[in-house]
Structure formats: C-alpha cells, structure tokens
Structure 1
C-alpha cells in the first residue's frame, strides 16, 4: 500500500501546492474525517463563519468570500473554473455551499482548504452522506453468524454500509455451480476445465470418469454432480455441490427476502469447474488459475471477465511440496493483478512442519505455494475450528464451522435448489475472498496480493479465544476495518 500512499501524497502536493500562492489557513478548521463517508464524488460543503463576521452578516460579503475561494481552488486544480453557491443556511448558522461540478477527494480537499483561507471561517467540512444501517431481509440471515458482530463474525454488516463489492469479479475455482435463484443473478460467464482422464486411464467412463458430464473442456461450468459409488477408486458418497456452496458464501443474492446473504453481494462470480468425481487434476487447476486471472490458455477462449479475486477451496489431502505448475500459474495470476485466496486445509495439522528429504518445510498444497493468502477456520465463538490446519503459513482466519449457504438437494445429479450448513476451511476461504472483493471495490487503486495480505492481517480482529499452540493467522478477518483502511490513504 506504500506506493499508493506515496502517489496520493504526491498528487495532493501537486494539487494543493507548496508555493507562496497556496491558501493559508488554520489546520483545525478542516474536518478531514467528513470526507470518509463512502462517497467517491463530493459536491456539497458546509462552511461556518464566525458570529458577527461580515460574511455571516452580509450576503454580499459572503458571496465575495466564496467567489475568492472558488478562484483559488480552480487555480489549484488546474481545470475548468469552479463556482460556489450558497444553497441555504442551517439552524446553527452554517452555510451549505454547492459546487457547480463534483470533485474527487483530492479536489474536495482543495476546495475545503480554499474556503478555510478566509480568516472569518471557523470550520469547513463535507456535507456527509448518511445511509440506513443495513440488516438484510434474507429469511435465513439470522443463521449466518459469520457476517455479524458476534465473537466469530467478520463485521460484514458494517462494511455493507460502505460497499457491497460492486464492480468486482471473484472466480470460484471449484466443482462448478448449479442453478439457484438465490445465486444466479450474480453468476457470469465461467468455464469447465476438466479435460478428462484419458482413454487409457483405467478409470470407468470412457475417459470421463472425473468429468461426469461425458465430455472435456467447454464453456459450461454447470456442476453435474460428483457422487461416487466405486470405493476402489476414491471415497464414496453423494454429490457435494461444493462449488455452489462456496459461490453462495462469496456472493449470494442478498436483501431479496429469501434464503441467505453473501459476503460481497454486489460482486459477480465467475464459476470455473476443475473438480469432479474424486477431485481434479493439477494441470486443469493450473490452467483454470491462468484463465481466471486473464491469462491465455491454448484452445480456450479468453476470459471476458478476468477475476479481481480467485478463491481456491481445494488442496491435497496430505502434506506435499507445491507443484511447479501451481507456482507458475499462481505467480502469473498475481502478476496480472489478481488476489488469490486459498483454504488452509482440514486435517488439524501444522502446514509448516512437514519436511521433505532435504528437511525443508513443504506444508500443504495450496498454502505452501507462497503467493497465496491462506485461511484457517473459526467457530461462532471465535475459537479455532477443530479441523482447521494451522501454522505460521496461515495468514488469517474466518468463519468455517456451521456455514449456511446455497446448494442443490440432489444426491447424484441436480434436482431442486436448497440450503445447507457445511464445515471446513473451504467455507472460511470464500469469506476472505469476499472481503478482498469489498476492499478492491473501494480502494483508490487495486491492491496487489502482498498489499492485500498486509491490509487484511493489519486490520484483523484479535481472536476472542486464543488458538494457543495452533496459530491460524493474525486474527479473524474484519471486513469493516479492512474496507475503511482501503479507503484511507
């Protein structure tokens, strides 16, 4: 974030000037915090003149004062002329001044400083925009402890008063998604990257055992189900609808009087299918990471909706060194400006103490791949979830126990839509991916991966229940504090 702050400081210095012509004022006159009301543009300022002063008593003196300020601000901004006009005077004698055009934060600060240069001015501030505090009316919102102000919550309800993640895209690289009326409106594009097992794989299904849908890569990211009856190949069980659940946690349609809420419900989700029956292949996952972040994959059309954030609620079932194919894909994604968030894993194991033959720490894939933000899980009390992996490579924690979200009710293929509570760091990771989307939606310039990691860790809320010898990061992700920090240079 340092570069952005430096650039903003430079821009402010250029705009406001350190020259002899810069307006002189007492710093205490300016209420700078009033600019932090969630607005991107400013056009109304509040000016209070001292009681008994000429501008307070006389309309002509008032007009001369604000005309002079408009001229000073126009010269400082170097653009077309600004005009100030009094809209009305409030009950306490403060004047509401309207500008003839809207200004960004730097421009508004220049206008405020120009007004404050009149020695008769007592204070200048932005006419802050107030909005209702939002509590979504989704029927099951009361069961979603993760968004609130409780011990295990991420304070999303406060962050939503500033942003819902509008304008951002989150790629959910997972099992694909099923049609769901509480999710569909926020789903765009997507791709199925499961290329098949190969005709000589030894798996049943004519080379498409994992794919289930009977074909290879295509532009249909729908989840056909991932059930398995063959215990000789992998664990048996019904379809998980894992990707639909994760996508709902990121951006379920919210405040629609039904179902559940999503973390960044103004964002859009690009579903990328890489996991089928018995999981998925690293080569497909690596290609999916590249494609989702806007990179080129041979034989696959370009992604028209490159992701601001990628969520990877997947990994290996045992400690393993990060495959180079993942490292390359992840490094490329980060270089293209995508933030990558991953689940730490559900083995109640230290991701940093596994060792290879050279006695090097290898950890769990994907946490050990370096250029990722790794997420552990907490319960509603803020305690570490018993299954959550831990260790110094885990960056931050989020709700992961008893997380209610969108699913399908079919045991094999999709049938009707529904809701279910799941446990796992797979459920924690999309909370953080959603917070990253909220942050990117308000940041003056997009944060890099390392800037996002630093911001999320620095704004995290302390654990109400200490993880003790099993650390799961800097604290519980705090959406409200992260959004505020992103908006404040």
Structure 2
C-alpha cells in the first residue's frame, strides 16, 4: 500500500473514531445549542441543510476539507436506507454552506444527521434549508372583514398561494349585475333570460344586456304582505366569487382571477323555471333556440336561488345537460330552516348543494325562522353569515356602488363555486363534476362541533382541496435529484449527460419548473449546459459565458408546460474547448 493510501486510511480511521466518540455526546449543550431542530416541525422530508463552519477552520477555507468533514458526518450517520451521499452545493452570502443529501430524510433521520454534523466543534450552526412560501394577504381595504376566507371559513388565504382561478369562467345565474369598480374587470359577456318584460323592467324581455334593473316590489305585486327594496343579489354573489383583489380597495374574491358571466333570471317577484332552465343550458355551452351561443361557456355555474317542491324534469334535464358538458353546478340549500329535500334545485341530482355556517362553524341562524336548510341532500357547508361583498346603494333602480354584508346560503354558495374555479384552474386536465364533488367532500374541514342539523360532511377547505390534486402536501412541487458525479470530457462536442427518471405522475410539467445545477469547472466559459426533456426537446441553461473560477451553479426557471412529466430528463454538459476539465456534481428538477 502506498504512503498516500496509508495516510488516507489513517485519516479516515481517525475521522471515524472521532465521529464515534463525538456521537456519544451528540446531545451535549455545545452541540444542541447550534442545531435548529424546531425548523423540522413542519417538514415531512428534508434533503438540504445549511452548515456554518467557524472562521479560521480548515473546512471554511478548503473545499476538500469541507467535503471530508461532510463525509465523516455521513459515515457516523445512524439513518436507514441507501447511502446518504452528502455533498457540498455552494457557499451562501453569509459564509455558510449549503449541503445536500442524495435522498430525502424523514424528520428523525434529519435530526440524527444534524446532530452528527454539529458534533464537529468547528461547526457554528446547522439547520434545514427550509422551504418558505408566500403568505398572500390582499391589500383590499375591507379584507379584514371577510372572515369567510380565513381558517375559520374556507381557508382561501393559503389557497391563493396555489391558485387564483385564472382562466376559469363562472356563470352566476341570478338578478344580473350592476356596475362596480371593484368587480367590472372580472365581468364578461352575459345575457338577460327574463322573458317577461314587466318582470325584467327593461321593456323588451330577453336580450344581451344582463344589467340588473332592480328586483324591488310591493307586496300586492307578488302575492305577499310585505314590500321589498332591490337586493342587487347577483352583484353580491359575483363579488364573493371574483371581486377584483389586491387593488387597495374594497373586498376580495374567492377566485379573483376567474371571470364571471352574469346570467339574469330573477327580476320583479323572482324568476320562472323555464327561464332558469334555458339559462342553465346557455351558460354551460348548450343551445337555446333564438339565443346566440354563449361565447364564454362556464366551467362552474352558481345558483343562489330556489323554491319549494320536487326537482322536476325541467330542472333535472337542464342540469343533466350542463353536467354532461363538464360543468359543475353549485346550488344553495335554502334558508327556511327546513329539510333541503323539499327545496329545488337543492334536491336535484348532479348538483353540489351548499349549507351555511357562521364564523364559529355552527349552522347559520339569521332569525327565528331563517336558518340554513339541512338534510341528506346537503353536500358541504361554507360561510353564510355576515358576508361582506360588492353591492349597489339604490333602493329600487341602480344607484351608487357600495358594499354590504348579507347572510344566507346564497352567500355560502359562491364561496364553493369560487373554490371549484380554483380547482379547475390548478388541475392539469379539467375535473368532472363528480370528481369535484368528491374532492370537496374528502377534503372538507370537520365542523368544530356537530351541527344541530346535518349540513354536509364539513366546511369546504380550499387549500386542502387544492393539495389533493397531486396527492402530496405541496401539489406539483416534488423534487427529483441526481447526486452522482459525472466527469465532463475535455474538448468533446458530445459531452456527458446525467439522467433523472420521473414516473407515476400525470399531465404536463408546469410553466415555472425549477432546475438547480451545481457543475464544478475552472472555466465555465467553456461550457454549454442543456436540459433535455423526455421527448428530446432541448432547453439551454448556460451557453459558454463567464470566466475562470466560476462554476455553473444556480437555480433556473424554465417553461416546460409542453412537456409530459414522466420520462427520462437529462442534464447535458459539453466542454468543446481544450485544457480544463470538470464534473456535474449534482442537479435536481422540481415540478
């Protein structure tokens, strides 16, 4: 054995002995106070750590010594599974080093490894390279009053970091729409399906203008004993779905980047079944005789309306047609403190029927007789008490724009319709109405206490519903890593490729896929680095720029939305110039 080999062997043996000795005191004060174990509390798996070596230590000034220290920690590591393969990734701006394991570690393994690393007295601290996420809080001036978006409601504030409803159309079949500066930008198209010109108050029956003319009435007009001002109900519902958000004004919408198609069916004294059935067909992209085709077919229909009686063939046929076109129909359970099996369209099949809860998670109560309907046909619950949204100040005809709080299952329903929009915007391929219903039910939050009457399986949870789309806690953000070294041949136009094989996924990669690369090379100006998709498409990452002592290291965002997730992804490095050699040290792709 050579002298060099003997020295290496003695060095390895000494390192191993040192680690063994230190592992006996791994929980001693001098190590424990340098480990940030609390950072592991919310992490299910971890493969990257930040290690800071003390100034003046050999590991701080020499990469070979640093790697040797990491190898020593790996040797003494008491984890399970295949080799740890702890490698240095890069030095951070604070002088600490980012290191990465070749595989994911669970919490116990991560803690064990951190203790091994901290056992080296030259280590100043070690902590996980924890992932941070945006905490989006809109700057809308009255957002704080919208309790329905918090964890006490549908948990939209966390969901908005995943989806905002972009590209999805929601049809609101209601009283029509009024002009509102906090809503107008998200309103498109629409139609007035009220066939009775007197009820419509526009003098011409059905037309292409869905403007709400007011649904006020005096009791004698509608066979009741009371009078009523205009409700501007459709404007309130639309605001809950898609009010313009983060505009330093007013309120926020559940799916604030979705678009709303207002479909007017309710005027003076309400609306007729025939008009509503035609509206359902048209909104979902079906054909209605004499009416131009809807240029913006909806993926979601919101129906915060209803009446008593059995569903009936008219309603059911229209709803079946919408569902057959892939449209999810979300309807209100009703507010009469009765069994929703006696309310339609709540009792129709193929719809998602929504009950209402207050901020305590209890069944909503608005008066001695006005409470959320209940029963076996109610699928889920959502916030329906003191719901602030866009409105109009006119008592009969439209006046100035305003905001107001309403209560009712009518207010709960658009929360759910908005969540459906969030889901469809996030899904790789559109979900069927049945799949949407299953997702909402399976991910609903349990009621804080059992309701006094059944109002569904739980309270809709937007974030949990979105998480379920990929089956992982962080949908669409799984990281795949290859930590094997690949030497890059010098002056060779073919280069070398490192492969990561992805399987078990569905759909395409996202438009913001993340590729992290660490290539060690004394002159990166010689290198061309490409990501090669499974179908052979090439995405250039680095193309012979830069100077000496400057490795190709960093994270690159690439639009891979045209590429299938599954297959062999390759990182290719080519050094077509002479003299210098290097290696692909490690790389990963996240999507």
Superposition TM-score, scaled by structure 1 size: 0.70
CA deviations over 1:207-259 (Å, ceiling 9, x no partner): x2211111111111110111112524244211010000000011111111111
Other-structure match for 1:251: 242
- How far the C-alpha of 1:421 sits from its partner, in A, is 0.8
Contact (CA 8 Å) 2:221, 2:269: kept in 1 or not?
Answer: no
Other-structure match for 2:25: none
Contact (CA 8 Å) 1:442, 1:487: kept in 2 or not?
Answer: no
Contact (CA 8 Å) 1:251, 1:265: kept in 2 or not?
Answer: yes
CA deviations over 1:251-275 (Å, ceiling 9, x no partner): 1111111111111101111100011
Other-structure match for 1:147: 149
Contact (CA 8 Å) 2:230, 2:396: kept in 1 or not?
Answer: yes
CA separation in 2, counterparts of 1:264 and 1:162? 11
Secondary structure, counterpart of 2:212 in structure 1: coil
- How far the C-alpha of 1:297 sits from its partner, in A, is 1.0
Q: How does 1:267-278 map to 2 (within 5 A)?
A: 267-278=258-269
CA deviations over 1:105-142 (Å, ceiling 9, x no partner): xxxxxxxxxxxxxxxxxxxxxx9985531111111111
CA separation in 2, counterparts of 1:92 and 1:166? 39
Contact (CA 8 Å) 1:312, 1:343: kept in 2 or not?
Answer: yes
Contact (CA 8 Å) 2:90, 2:97: kept in 1 or not?
Answer: no
- How far the C-alpha of 1:350 sits from its partner, in A, is 1.2
Secondary structure, counterpart of 1:209 in structure 2: helix
- How far the C-alpha of 1:94 sits from its partner, in A, is 3.9
Q: Check if 1:475 corresponds to 2:458.
A: yes
- How far the C-alpha of 1:34 sits from its partner, in A, is 10
Other-structure match for 1:161: 161
CA separation in 1, counterparts of 2:340 and 2:216? 29
Question: Against the structure 1 CA distance between its residues 34 and 379, is the aligned structure 2 distance closer, same or farther, given a 3 Å change threshold?
Answer: closer
Secondary structure, counterpart of 2:302 in structure 1: strand
CA separation in 2, counterparts of 1:175 and 1:34? 47
Q: How does 1:35-434 map to 2 (within 5 A)?
A: 91-94=96-99, 131-150=133-152, 153-196=153-196, 208-235=197-224, 236-316=227-307, 318=308, 320-352=309-341, 363-386=342-365, 387-434=371-418
- How far the C-alpha of 1:284 sits from its partner, in A, is 0.8
CA deviations over 1:51-109 (Å, ceiling 9, x no partner): x9xxx969xxxxxxxxxxxxxxxxxxxxxxxxxxx99665435479xxxxxxxxxxxxx
Point out the structure with max Rg over C-alpha: 2
Question: Against the structure 1 CA distance between its residues 93 and 467, is the aligned structure 2 distance closer, same or farther, given a 3 Å change threshold?
Answer: closer
Of Structure 1 and Structure 2, which has the larger fraction of its residues in strand? Answer: 2
Secondary structure, counterpart of 2:97 in structure 1: coil
CA separation in 2, counterparts of 1:239 and 1:487? 44
CA separation in 2, counterparts of 1:422 and 1:443? 32
CA deviations over 1:157-182 (Å, ceiling 9, x no partner): 01011111111111000000000001
CA separation in 1, counterparts of 2:134 and 2:156? 15
- How far the C-alpha of 1:334 sits from its partner, in A, is 0.6
CA separation in 2, counterparts of 1:95 and 1:396? 44
Structure 1: runs of 5 or more not aligned: 1-32, 37-44, 59-85, 97-126, 197-207, 353-362
Contact (CA 8 Å) 2:304, 2:410: kept in 1 or not?
Answer: yes
Contact (CA 8 Å) 1:381, 1:465: kept in 2 or not?
Answer: no
Contact (CA 8 Å) 1:89, 1:95: kept in 2 or not?
Answer: no
Superposition TM-score, scaled by structure 2 size: 0.58
Contact (CA 8 Å) 2:382, 2:412: kept in 1 or not?
Answer: yes
Q: Check if 1:451 corresponds to 2:430.
A: no
CA RMSD, aligned part only? 3.1
Question: Against the structure 1 CA distance between its residues 93 and 239, is the aligned structure 2 distance closer, same or farther, given a 3 Å change threshold?
Answer: closer
Other-structure match for 1:18: none
Other-structure match for 1:4: none
CA separation in 2, counterparts of 1:289 and 1:321? 18
CA separation in 1, counterparts of 2:132 and 2:412? 32
Contact (CA 8 Å) 1:177, 1:221: kept in 2 or not?
Answer: yes
Higher relative contact order (Cα pairs below 8 Å, separated by 6+ residues): 1
Secondary structure, counterpart of 2:468 in structure 1: helix
**Count of aligned pairs:** 368
Contact (CA 8 Å) 1:88, 1:95: kept in 2 or not?
Answer: no
CA separation in 2, counterparts of 1:190 and 1:385? 31
